[in-house]
Chains A and B, each alone.
Chain A
């Protein structure tokens, strides 16, 4: 909900996060170099650096892809979502270094343009096992570059959240390309069972998490889609003051907030990046998104001026002490009289 954009939104917490992250990157590369030289002193520094950055980027990509489903499975992981973009951009920088070193070492010493060499040095495009694996890595890097370049909120607003999200979901394609880049690359040259075991473990972990989170949400959505008419939320005592209870209605989620002896219901989906508003709280009279702090007034779902974001509101009623919410959303930003609970 920024009125203007700053180059990068850093605060103290993010600075600490970046410091820890880049310290980890430095330690990983140093440790990788140390262990490799110890066990295989014949390895050249270029090969070593290519391997260190390649394995590190792969590890970071696995971590990044685990955060989303973990946060959907258990709310305690939500905190990890906050800095995922910094982690993503850092991962791209590491992967980019791997790509540039590869290009320099294997494709820049001939008399053809390195990019021409990358695409033409191995022409087995119709073969599975001999497929030019470096090309797969190149396209994965291209996707990661597009994601890193558009990671700022300016692009989120310029491209619209829908397009932006679709673009950023290409990370799954990048992941698939990276896995095959490793399988058809280093695993062909070094038929190492340990290496393959580690890769398979990572793949099982990431896909297991995504499948489980998807199954869990699908189940909730199916249960919710059976509800028709007004949906029971519970009693007002079920909701902590300045907090919300999330209800599933027709496949969508509604956040019912309690504040100053009143109740208001809004869509659970933040306009910024679809963050879960119902997991945030009321700060200065406004619902505050837990992901990046966008704010909305509970009565009309509008962001306070000068901001312009709006979410839908919902009608509420109370029968015999039980709160009910209407499954039909009001127009975005439409005022809805709060339900007074005394």
Chain B
């Protein structure tokens, strides 16, 4: 390499390194902490279907888990291909206060199950594309 090129390389990297490290670390730290659903239910089936609600793009099944807990099964039924699908639930606590809770991301899968534990209808469920910021579904149980 010639001296000018060597100097240019040095300058480029001295500028690039702090920018990249600050960008990478802050990007990671500021990332929204969606609850990651560790609820590995892909191979488990819950036969007791309580209720089904269908929207344009999704089918929502509320089922009974083996321990009596509520299971919300979300299935994509249209050909849309969202980059991210965040499932949120809104329900009223026994105390009367309204709670909005993020259940988790569907992670590009066509079917996902969430453990609602003791949450029972009435409640509403929303699916949002967090990248495009659009609501993909909003239903009431």
Contact = CB atoms under 8 A, between A and B. Distances in A.
Given A42-B109, A43-B108, A191-B31, A214 B10 contact: yes
Interface residues of A, number: 47
A128 B3 CA distance: 37
B34 A109 contact: no
Interface of B: 1-3, 5-6, 8-10, 12-14, 16-17, 19-21, 23-28, 30-34, 36, 42, 79-84, 105, 107-111, 130-133
Contacts of A122: 131-133
B42 A41 contact: yes
A183 interface: yes
B21 to A, nearest CB: 7
Interface of A: 41-44, 47, 72, 105-106, 109, 121-122, 124, 128-130, 132, 165, 169, 172, 175-176, 179-180, 183-184, 187-191, 196, 199-200, 203, 207, 210-211, 213-215, 217-218, 221, 251-252, 269, 274
30 contacts: A42-B107, A42-B111, A43-B109, A44-B110, A72-B1, A105-B81, A106-B83, A121-B131, A128-B27, A130-B131, A130-B133, A169-B12, A172-B12, A172-B16, A176-B16, A180-B27, A183-B24, A188-B32, A189-B130, A190-B36, A196-B28, A200-B24, A203-B21, A211-B13, A214-B6, A214-B14, A252-B2, A252-B3, A269-B1, A274-B2
B13 A179 contact: no
Given A124-B133, A187-B28, A188-B32, A106 B81 contact: yes
B31 to A, nearest CB: 5
Contacts of B82: 106
A251 B19 contact: no
A309 to B, nearest CB: 15
A189 B129 CA distance: 11
A196 B21 CA distance: 12
Nearest to A172: B12
A221 B133 contact: no
Given A121-B132, A128-B26, A221-B6, 6 more contacts: A42-B107, A129-B27, A130-B131, A179-B23, A217-B1, A217-B10
A246 to B, nearest CB: 12
A159 B141 CA distance: 65
B88 to A, nearest CB: 16
A75 B25 CA distance: 34
B17 A47 contact: no
Given A43-B108, A129-B27, A179 B81 contact: no
Shortest 10 CB-CB contacts between residues of A and residues of B: A183-B27, A214-B10, A251-B3, A210-B13, A42-B109, A207-B17, A47-B108, A188-B31, A129-B30, A196-B28
Contacts of B42: 41-42
A275 to B, nearest CB: 9
B10 A109 contact: no
